[in-house]
Amino acid sequence: MSNTISWQESPVKKRLEAHLPGEIPILPMRRYVSVVILREFDSTAVLTTEGQTLDVEMVRSGRKYSEPISRVLLQKRKQIAPERRAGRAFNRDRGLGKKCVFLNGMCGKCPDCLIYGFAATSGEGAHRSRVLTDSGFAIRPYEAMQRSITLNAIDDSTKGGVSGSAFAEREHIRPQVFFPTIETAVDVTPAEFLYVLRNILTTTRYGAESNRQGFVNNHVVALLFGHGELISNLSLTQGVYDRLREKGGERFHEFPLERSEVEKAVMDVLEEEAKRSYLPVDVCAGEELAAFLAGVRDLWRNEEANAEWLQELESDQQAYLAKLK
Amino acid sequence: MKRFAYRIRIELEDYLFFASMEKGKVAETAPLIHNYALAYALSWAISPYYQEKQAPGYEKQLKPLNEEGVYIFPASPLEVTHRLMQYNTTSEPLWMMRPQSLGYPNWGFIKCLRPGSRFETYALSHNPLSFPPRIRLGKWMSQARLEVEEVALERGTGKSSPIMVNVQDLPRLPATFTSMYNLLPTRLVKEAEWGEAVEGYRIKKMEGQQVEEEFLPESAFWWR
Ligand SMILES: [Zn+2]
């Protein structure tokens, strides 16, 4: 068996090349790749505003079911900020963007600035983000979620081992809050897309850096290649709600959700939406996605292939910066 | 000469923010959508990813659309609700997407529009148009869903129009109007009336079971 893994020859790159531009365009070309992510939170601590109350919004429950419900909210800035942080730490390890300060004085030249956008704090110049996101909405209503969390805690404590104190309860609850979210990269090269994907897959903590809680599992459910955006987070969540409620009955939200059930509902919504779309959408999911992600893992674990990818990322961006001059 | 008219409903699927007014520590979002923003959101006009200067070239980028014979009016609210959010530029500098040097305070509040808010507008065109099912708007590039319906149109004249119009895009200034929004880069007014009849179009739309007629004044991007 051959051990040679190369970025240039990899099926990962071939899959991306079929849809994404070979060079970064000056003007929008509208080549979209969406990463559909089911974000699973093990704690709701991170979802609070100013560390106290949960951030909640009243929206229509489903697309079919129209009564309004309160949903816990994952604001878009709370999704992107930690992922950018992961990318910037990775860049610094490679000696890149050392002069680029996120809070003020962005360099405008590193992968972070060029992909996620920047606005100069001194002088002029701004780059639009090529990564688009939306606020995420929890599937279940806030009140029912709270109720099931309490029920779970009681369950755990009656099974023994856990004292009934409020503190212990909090330590042992597993809220399993799911946010179906989509992150869309527009007009990125294959190497740039892998950078965005790396940030998504390696970020496990959302919220303030000092916060010990907020562990998140980002489950990638599908990649969508196309010429536009298929669906918004809100609409996706509402579609998932409809399906789970149809299956589980009116009180489905009083019980913890199974990840596999949620993933299946997400796929159903995406497929239905893809069927309705006037423009072609190429959906990479299931076994094909598993193979794609395994290929990505091989690349990152292989020193040469990893270096090859990063070299291409750099040359893509250098070529773009030269065009801007 | 426009031959096709479309009635467009816009529904927000996320919070929408653009600074239209500042009152102390609150940056407010007006309950309407500027037609230039819509032209960009629909990809009729495009601007490069990188902008050397912060000022966008509206005139240069929008005027070619007049030759193509397409126009879209500003969108008026059908149903809008607000939400106040606190921001802190030291921890979230890009959220405002505007450098601090331009005079934003370090912290304050943003009054944004909530998901579910709905707007309506019209687009006119010489050739048939197709529209994307969703667009992105505002400082946060928030997603919105479009519902588009073709409506009948006829050339005609009129002395008043019930819809929101862009003063910069009108050949003749209205004599009166009910409300005015100073929404950069231009002024938008509602329920404009002219001293004498101006050129435009009558469109027929279904409102429930009834057919209603509305007059839309002839407009072109950056006409004045
Ligand atoms: Zn940078």
Among A111-115, A118-122, A223-227, B83-87, the range scoring the smallest mean pLDDT is A118-122
- Which member of A60, A124, A135 has the closest CB to residue B52? A124
Q: How many CA atoms lie within 13 A of B146 on its CB side?
A: 23
φ, ψ of residue B214 in degrees (nearest 5) = -135, 150
> Which two three-digit tokens encode residue B36?
């230039």
A232-257 pLDDT, tens digit each: 999 999 999 999 999 988 888 777 78
- pLDDT beyond 60 at A131: yes
Q: What are the C-alpha distances in Å from A177 to residues A54, A231, A267, B61, B121?
A: 12, 21, 18, 45, 38
Asked if residues A192 and A138 have their Cβ atoms less than 8 Å apart, the reply is no
Report d(CA A256, CA A149) in Å as an integer. 8
Domain borders along chain A are 11-143+175-324
Mean pLDDT value across residues B197-223: 92
Predicted pLDDT of residue A117 = 92
> Predicted confidence band at A3 (pLDDT cuts at 50, 70, 90)?
low
Q: By percentage, how much of chain B surpasses pLDDT 90?
A: 67
> Which two three-digit tokens encode residue A252?
């489905």
pTM of the model: 0.90
Q: What is the DSSP pairing of strand A136-137 with strand A131-132?
A: unpaired
> Predicted confidence band at B182 (pLDDT cuts at 50, 70, 90)?
confident
- pLDDT beyond 90 at B214: yes
- pLDDT beyond 80 at A177: yes
> Predicted confidence band at B107 (pLDDT cuts at 50, 70, 90)?
confident
Predicted pLDDT of residue A121 = 67
Max intra-chain CA distance, chain A: 68
Mean pLDDT value across residues B144-151: 96
Residues 196-215 of B with CB under 8 A from A: none
Predicted pLDDT of residue A152 = 55
Predicted pLDDT of residue B149 = 95
Greater confidence (A174 vs B78) lies with B78
Contacts of B138 in chain A (CB under 8 A): none
Q: How far is the CA of A115 from the centre of ligand 1 (A)?
A: 10
- pLDDT beyond 50 at B44: yes
Unique residue bearing structure tokens 């509902």: A265
- pLDDT beyond 60 at A173: no
Unique residue bearing structure tokens 């994307």: B132
CB pairs under 8 A between A and B: 100
Q: Is A49 in the B-facing interface, judged by CB distances under 8 Å?
A: yes
Q: How many CA atoms lie within 13 A of A158 on its CB side?
A: 6
Among A82-86, B107-111, B210-214, the range scoring the smallest mean pLDDT is B107-111
Contacts of A76 in chain B (CB under 8 A): 14, 140
Q: Is A30 in the B-facing interface, judged by CB distances under 8 Å?
A: yes
> Predicted confidence band at A96 (pLDDT cuts at 50, 70, 90)?
confident
- In the chain, the amino acid numbered A310 is L
